[in-house]
Amino acid sequence: RKPCLTLALETSCDETSAAVVADGRIVLSNIISSQIPVHQKYGGVVPEIASRKHIENVLPVIDQALKAAGVALTDISAIGVTYGPGLVGALLVGVSVAKALSFAAGIPLVGVNHLEGHIFANFLAHPNLEPPFMALVVSGGHTSLVHVKGYNEFVLLGQTRDDAAGEAFDKVARVMKLPYPGGPYIDALAAKGNPEAIAFPRALSGKNSFEFSFSGLKSAVLNYLNSAAQKQEEINTADVAASFQAAVIDVLVSKSLQAAAVSGVGQIVLAGGVAANSGLKAKLGYECQQAGISFYYPDPILCTDNAAMIACRAYYQHQIGDYADLHLNAKPSLKL
């Protein structure tokens, strides 16, 4: 039997990526052209520049993905593409190219939700993982608890009311004069600090509330840094990073466990860029073990934006005939 190959494109933010996945689970190639160095000097993603870079990179990245997988376009069974959420101009590049390829080669087109893609990265990392499970999606743009009941059945339990977890990491890092994106730098600095040094707030930590809020925490860190600067006090940046990170992690971990308990599922998966955070993985892993819950997370390369996770999601949509047509458009605020 020939494997079912899905080719996917991901251009929702600042990574141009193309990947080929076999039978939904085996990554044959996952080419990621990151624009991080381009945006770093602005301290964040500049949408106009992101779109232009995607246009420059997208075709070479697709060529590389096919070559690295050792396959031709004619071997592909379905073409997946992220159509939201994300930056509209960035999304449009992937969507336009995927539509053109699908039309020219007569291959079915699958529109993929970026957040579902992040969750599905776990199927690539763990060949035996199957729904149902609770997914904590923590990225630069989103913080959500999703009950994944089946491969095509998702129930959103709650999300952030304001900043996403990754956004809080990036904003705190920015005022601490760390490079963009700040998450990995805070993570490294936190490992050298005392997480109990400063008592930062844990918002909305009520029982069985699955909404998050991180803007108050971000302000608390900024106020702490400003008042120390005014008083010309020496600050321990490692302690600030560790205490901030601990506040984020406490809320994420306790809500994930409550959500799993309420939904009666015995598995929790981490997804999205912040899933690469070492403190989060350690704490959630420990608490899951205590509670007798299986815990999964992807390798860092599958946590941040990549097309392999989109190809995985596209495979499962292809299985049920969930195709898009040439009217597919970018949806910047697409929901789960």
**Site for ligand KG4 (CB under 6 A): which residue of 83, 123, 169, 295?**
169
Measured distance CA(262)–CA(55) in Å, rounded: 45
Binding mask 170-199 for ligand KG4 (x = CB under 6 A): x----------xxxx--x------------
Place of tokens 């599922």: 265
Q: Residue 138 Cβ, how far from ligand KG4 at the closest point, in Å?
A: 8
31 sits in which H/E element: strand 26-34
Going by C-alpha positions, the residue among 311, 327, 265 that lies closest to residue 292 is 265
Q: Count the Cβ atoms, other than its own, within 10 Å of residue 236.
A: 15
Rounded to a whole number of angstroms, the minimum distance from the CB of residue 49 to Zn ion is: 18
How far is Cα 311 from Cα 114, in angstroms, rounded to an integer?
A: 11
Distances (CA, A) of 85 to 2, 111, 114, 285: 33, 11, 6, 29
Answer for which of 6, 33, 139, 306 binds Zn ion (CB under 5 A) is: 139
Binding-site partner at residue 131 among Zn ion, ligand KG4, none, CB < 5 to 8 Å by type: none
Among 163, 170, 187, 305, binds Zn ion (CB under 5 A): 305
* Cα atoms in the 13 Å half-sphere on the side-chain side of 308: 24
Residue 267 contact partner, candidates ligand KG4, Zn ion, none, CB within 5 to 8 A by sort of partner: none
The one-letter amino acid code at 258 reads Q
Q: What is the residue-wise DSSP string for 117-132?
A: HHHHHHHHH-TT--S-
Cβ atoms of 273 and 303 closer than 8 Å: yes
Which residues in the 27-66 window bind Zn ion by CB under 5 A? none
Q: Which does 24 bind (CB under 5 to 8 A by kind): ligand KG4, Zn ion, none?
A: none
Question: Applying CB under 6 A, does 6 fall inside the site for ligand KG4?
Answer: no
Helix (H, G, I), strand (E, B) or coil at 165: helix
Binding residue for ligand KG4, selected from 277, 308, 318, 331, defined by CB under 6 A: 277
- Asked whether position 117 contacts ligand KG4 by CB under 6 A, the answer is no
- Judged by CB under 6 A, the number of residues near ligand KG4 is 19
Shortest CB 143 distance to ligand KG4, Å: 10
Which of 62, 112, 221, 274 binds ligand KG4 (CB under 6 A)? It is: 274
Choices 43-51, 199-207, 273-281, 288-296 (CB under 6 A): range interacting with ligand KG4: 273-281
Sign of CA pseudo-dihedral 272, 97, 85, 53: positive
Under the criterion CB under 6 A, does residue 13 sit at the interface with ligand KG4? yes
What residues are designated binding site for Fe cation?
A: 114, 118, 305
DSSP result, 280-331 = HHHHHHHHHHHHT-EEE---HHHHSS-SHHHHHHHHHHHHTT--B-TT----
CB of 304 to ligand KG4, least distance (A): 4
Q: Which is nearer to ligand KG4, 102 or 143 (CB)?
A: 143
166 forms part of the interface with ligand KG4 (CB under 6 A): yes
Nearest approach, Cβ of residue 272 and Zn ion (Å):
6
With 0-12 / 13-18 / 19 or more C-beta atoms within 10 angstroms meaning exposed / middle / buried, residue 325 is exposed
Q: How far is the CB of 304 from Zn ion (least distance, A)?
A: 7
Q: How many CB atoms lie within 10 A of CB 199?
A: 10
Q: Which of 304, 307, 309, 318 binds ligand KG4 (CB under 6 A)?
A: 304
Which helix (H) or strand (E) covers residue 254, if one does? helix 237-263
> What residues make contact with Zn ion under the rule CB under 5 A?
139, 305
> What residues make contact with ligand KG4 under the rule CB under 6 A?
13, 139-141, 166, 169-170, 181-184, 187, 272-274, 276-277, 304-305
